[in-house]
Each structure stands twice: as structure tokens, then as C-alpha cells.
Structure 1
Amino acid sequence: MSKKFQVVGIGNAMVDVLSSTSDAFLADNGIEKGIMQLTDRARGVELYGLIGPAKEISGGSAANTIAGIAHLGGDTAYVGKVKDDQLGAIFAHDLRAQGAVYETPLAPASHEAETGRCIVLVTPDGERSMNTYLGVTEFLGPEDIDDAQMAQAEWIYLEGYRFDGPQSVAAFDKAIAACTGAGGRVSLTLSDPFCVGRHREAFRALIQNHIDLLFCNRAEMLSMYETDDFDVALARAASEVEIVACTDGEDGAHVLSHGQRWHAPAMPVQIVDATGAGDLFAGAFLWALTNGHDLATCGRMGCVAASEVISHIGARPEADLKALFKQQGLL
């Protein structure tokens, strides 16, 4: 039986506020370079006041992945909470405009928290340092998960950052039960090495019991398995899940499944803004997988999509990804 959705993503619904800055600005304001730091509302407002000109773009890790799949023509939906406010309206519009289904109930305008935003500070080397105020997205709970929608998904895609919310595990458990109960499969992205550090045991239980496809990068993989040996970590992951897709920066990506391993080379590109590279890798990979491509091709398409998104500001594709796949002989 064919399903209505190839992929349904669940994540933190955020609006990215992107601003170019200097390493000195990071140092002066106590911002650790290259990672995601959670902030409260007051700190978010303070940083917003300090940064230079900014570009507001709908973001959120899993939402970027889903937008990428929708851009490729995939049938997809997203679950993540925003408020009935200005940034919430931007978020909902942008995702629907890409062609994704987005029906998560809005938090009322009276809610004390606001739509989440991530202040992304991009230094001249293209590295991004993220300061995230989760806002209402933190309060996504089981009541926001539509069992019927999950049952209509070939795959669900779970965002690791969601583990920072109080009811995240309960929401994920409900989604997993509804999806797998109807024959669907489950993928997870580890999101961030510090996120792994905060929630390693919960991740470990989820990976061992429910995950069919694990997305991560080298730093997240090493953190997850608490080792400095990349090959050891990859082998451990591959022993626990059917498919592992691990990105490795300019070294491309490694895909492992059933005792086999493939390497997908990175596409040479001038890095303008590294935001969303992993998100779009996952989106292209899942699109390829649900359209019947082999795992080696899935990995290569993922690398092409990642290279496109890091060549400009913002974490959603601007070029025609299918045309890029054709150029590389992948379609």
C-alpha cells in the first residue's frame, strides 16, 4: 500500500536570524564558536539588539530537511510548534510555500513564550555559531502528534534537538508507535555533539530499540559512542541500526549498511554559510531512498545538496537540486 507521505519530520520549529560577524564579536560576547548554545528569552533579545543587519529565514533543523524534500518534489509533512505571532506566520508560510504539509496547532497569541528563534552568527570562514531561544517549540507534546498522519508516513525523521523539550520523548514515542504500527520506518539525526552529551542515554535507548536510519556528523558520532576512533564509532553505530549516514565535512560522507560501506565525496564549493549542510544532506538522502535509489547514490545526492546550501546564506536550497543531480550523472 502506498503512503500519503514519503517523510514526516518532527523538530524544533525555529526562525533563523542570520548575521555576519567577526571572531572578536564572538569573544566579546561570550559566544562559543561553531556550536549551538541554548539561551533564555532575555539573552535572545539582548543578542538581537547587538548584532548588525540580519536576514530572517525560516529554519529549524528537521524543517530544513523537510523543505529540501519538498523542493525535490517529495510528498512530505512537518510537525513543530510556533506561536500565533509574526515569526510564527513567517515560519508557516515559508514551509507551506515549499510544498510541505504543516498542520501543527499554533500556540495561542496569549502564550507567555514566543516563536523560537536562532541567532546564527556567521564568521568570515563560514562557520556558524548558534544562539537558540526555543520559545514555544520547547512545549511540543504528544497532543501535537497526529497518529493518522504518522501512519501515513513511509519514514518519520526525528530531530535530536527536540530532546531538550520536556515532553519530547513522549511525543517521539507516540509518533514511532503510530508510524511503525502501520509499517513505516524511523530515522533520527543526532543534531549536535553537545545535544548528544546532554541526552546520550535517551539517544542510546532510542537508537538501539527503534531507529532504522541514523544521520550524524563526525563530531556527533564520536560523542555518541564516547571514542576518539571514528571507524570504531561508525562500526558500533552500524551494529545497532540498519543504515548509518555520517557526514565528515570536506571529506564527504560515509554510508554503512549490512556490513558494506560507501564513501560519497564532498563537492568542492566556496563555503559562505555552513548552516543547514547536514539538514539538506538528510533531505536529499531520504528523498533518494524513498525514490528507490541505492545507498551509494543516496549519499552522493546528499553531498550535492549539502554543497548547494553552504554556497549561500540560509539553510534552504536556492538552486534546482534535481538539475544538480543530473549534472553529476545521478539522475
Structure 2
Amino acid sequence: MTSATVPSVDVLAVGDASVDYFVRVPHIATADDKAIGRLVGVYGGGMSANLAAAARFAGARAALATAVGSDEPGRQALDRLAAQGVDVSASITVPGGHTWFCVIQLDRSGEKSLVGAVTEVKIPAGDQVSDDLLRTARVVAPLADDLDWAIGLAARARANGAKVAVDLEPDAVAGRWDQVRTLARHSDLVFCNQGAVQVLADGDPARCAELLISAGARVVVVTGGRHGAACHSREESWTARGPEIDVVDTTGAGDALAGAFTGSWILGRSLADSLRAGVATASLCVSHLGSRSYLDAGTGIETYARNVTLETAPRLQGIR
């Protein structure tokens, strides 16, 4: 590889950056219900933005390619990410566009209910992400809300020499196993939350990992909220659990885990150490209001990583 083709970033997230409005409520409102609360903060969000910031927190060079409107929230979203060390130079500002946003209900325990309001601007079109940009990254992490869009980017990233990391969401994967299998075939790291595990494997985390690795994924990380996370490859399996903490807000915890794991892994750390870093970052994330507020708290990843309980787990048996 010549100096001209050496990747300039470790992790390139391609996807969204949002604005999150947090409302503290006495209980999470359900159908035909009402919960009157108070606005407690407005923060930057977005799964891709959160992942890139967490990768940077883990020590990786991180970049985000997103699309925002020319409104004040869009400008603030990019400026804040840049201040947090994420390269946003590949992002697109759409003239007259409105940056997408979320309204998040938080109950007294810190659990959330999130409503996303997708505007005409959320992610860049596939043809707005050039091969030259993909070649700048060691790992490309496309947002997997739209599986066909993510498959196209993942295939192109692989063709341009990058590895691929994806985070699967239950609404995106439901009823779309063929597309999930194709995306897994193009992916090195696949992250699944409990909802995705329920959809893909009837709630069985080990079976979910077996299916995705059989489809071609190199590593699968299954997150379990308060119960920590598990990491599987064909050769090894690990579980990790964070320290007992007072949960303030669970928003973005999965993104934090995925970003810190990805950043650690691409820097050459072991699966066990990458899982420890991911769980530590997620633990730090939920101890603050807002999905990236932990970045401004002055607490290093090592502080929480020392308190993560890491154990070997039984190796997967059902991989084809």
C-alpha cells in the first residue's frame, strides 16, 4: 500500500446526526395515554454520530459522513461533533433542509421512549458517498436503518479495502432475513440489541450470533442493557458486565458500546479488551443525560474499564 492510499481515519460512520429533545415524565406514555413532563435538555444525537464519537473516545481517528439541514440544529450538530474530535468534513448541508430530530421521554429510572421525526434530511444518498471517501477508512460503519442502502455501502466499502461494522435494529430487520444475511456476509462486526435478537432468533442471543456468523459475519456482539454484553467469533466468546451505577439516561448506550468496541478493535486490541472498552463506555454514557454528554465529563475510558467484569463464555456450537 502506497502512502497515497493509506487510510486517514480508523472509523468512518456513514449515516445520521440528529437533535434530541429530552422530556422528564412521571411515566412513559403509552397508547391513548398522556404524560406531562418538562424539557430537561437539548443534545446532539443520531446513531451514526454517537458511534463515531465513541470510537474517538476509545482512541480511534473517527469521521462522520451525514446530511443535515441548513438550519441552526444542523450547524450545531456538526460543530459539536467537530469539537468532540470527530472529522465531519465529508458531511453534506442541504440548503433549506430541516435536520431530523427525536423527542425522548425519560422516566425516573432513566429508561426512555424515543420518537424520531424524520424530515427530508437524514442520511446521504448512496451516490453522495464516493469511493474515494470509503478508501480513507479502515472501518466503515453504515447506518442499518435501510438494509438495502447499508448493503450497497458495505459492499462498496469492502471493495475499496475497508472493513465493515453494522448495528442491527429490530424494526429494520423484521421480516428481512435475506437482506440481513447479505449484510452479514459483507460485515466484519455486527452488533445486535435485545430487540433484534428477539426478531432474528426468538430471543436466543447465542443462536442469533450463530446465525449471523454462519452468514459471514466475523464477530457478533449482543448487547443486553443492564446485563452487559456478549461477544462471539468462531474461535472465542466473552461476556462483560459494567459496574453498578445510577442510571440517568439510557439514550445512545448501544451506540456508545458499538463505537468504542469498533474503535478499540480496529486499533488492534483483542476481542476481550474491545468488549471491555465498549461496556465501559456504555456504562459511562448512561450515567449522564444526553447520548454524548459523557465526552465532556472528563472521565477517561480506563476509569470505567477497570470496573468491568469480563469472563469467558461457552464457545458457539451451531455455526455452519
Tell me which moved more, 231-240 or 287-296.
231-240
Give the CA deviation at 1:243: 0.3
Deviations 1:39-87 (A, max 9, x none): xxxxxxxxxxx75224111100111010122234421111111100011
Secondary structure of 2:93's aligned partner: coil
Choose the corresponding residue for 1:258, options 222, 226, 234.
234
Q: Is the 8 A contact 1:273 1:312 kept in 2?
A: yes
**Partner SS, residue 81 of structure 1:** strand
1:196 is aligned to 2:173:
yes
Deviation track 1:6-57 (CA, whole Å, cap 9, x = no partner) reads 11001222111112112264555579xxxxxxxxxxxxxxxxxx75224111
2:66·2:123 contact (CA, 8 Å) conserved in 1? no
CA–CA separation in structure 1 for the residues paired with 2:47 and 2:178: 22
Q: 1:151 aligns with which of 135, 147, 160?
A: 135
Q: 1:158-177, aligned counterparts within 5 Å? A: 158-161=142-145, 163=146, 169-170=148-149, 172-177=150-155
Partner of 1:184: 162
Q: Is the 8 A contact 2:276 2:305 kept in 1?
A: no
After superposition, the CA RMSD in angstroms is: 2.4
The DSSP-based 3-state class of the residue aligned with 1:140 is: coil
2-structure distance, mates of 1:175, 1:230: 27
> Could you tell me which residue of structure 2 aligns to residue 234 of structure 1?
209
Q: What amino acid maps onto 2:284 in structure 1?
A: E
* Distance in 2 of aligned mates of 1:329 and 1:126: 21
TM normalised by structure 1 equals 0.83
**Are 1:20 and 2:4 matched, yes or no?**
no
Distance in 2 between the 1:270 and 1:139 partners?
A: 34
User: In the aligned structure 1, how far is the partner of 2:66 from the partner of 2:33?
Assistant: 30
Structure 2 counterpart of 1:205: 182
Alignment of 1:1-331 (within 5 A): 1=1, 2-23=6-27, 25-26=29-30, 29=33, 52-102=38-88, 103-109=90-96, 111=97, 114-138=98-122, 140-161=124-145, 163=146, 169-170=148-149, 172-190=150-168, 192-197=169-174, 199-207=176-184, 209-225=185-201, 227-240=202-215, 241-316=217-292, 317=294, 318-324=297-303, 327-328=306-307
- Cα pair distance change 1:193/1:21, threshold 3 Å: same
Aligned residue pairs, count: 300
- The 8 Å contact of residues 253 and 264 in structure 1, kept in 2 or not, is answered as yes
Contact 2:140–2:164 under 8 Å retained in 1: yes
Paired AA for residue 62 in structure 1: S
Could you say if the C-alpha distance between residues 157 and 84 of structure 1 is closer, same or farther in structure 2, counting changes exceeding 3 Å? Answer: same
Contact 2:256 2:282 in 1 (8 A): yes
Cα distance change of structure 1 residues 266 and 239 upon mapping to structure 2, 3 Å threshold = farther
Alpha-carbon distance in structure 2 between the residues aligned to 1:122 and 1:56: 13
SS in 1 for 2:281: helix
Tell me, in whole angstroms, the C-alpha distance in 1 between the residues paired with 2:204 and 2:92. 44
Distance change >3 Å, CA 198–CA 116, structure 1 → 2: farther
- Identity level (%): 25
Asked if the contact 2:19/2:46 (under 8 Å) is kept, the reply is yes
Residues 261 and 278 of structure 2 are in contact (CA less than 8 Å); yes or no, is this contact kept in structure 1? Answer: yes
2:312 is matched with: none
Q: Distance in 1 between matches of 2:204 and 2:259?
A: 27
Which has more helix, going by share of residues? 1
Please name the residue that 1:38 is paired with.
Answer: none
CA 1:91/1:280 → structure 2, altered by over 3 Å: closer, same or farther? same
Q: TM-score, length-normalised on structure 2?
A: 0.85
Aligned to 2:318: none
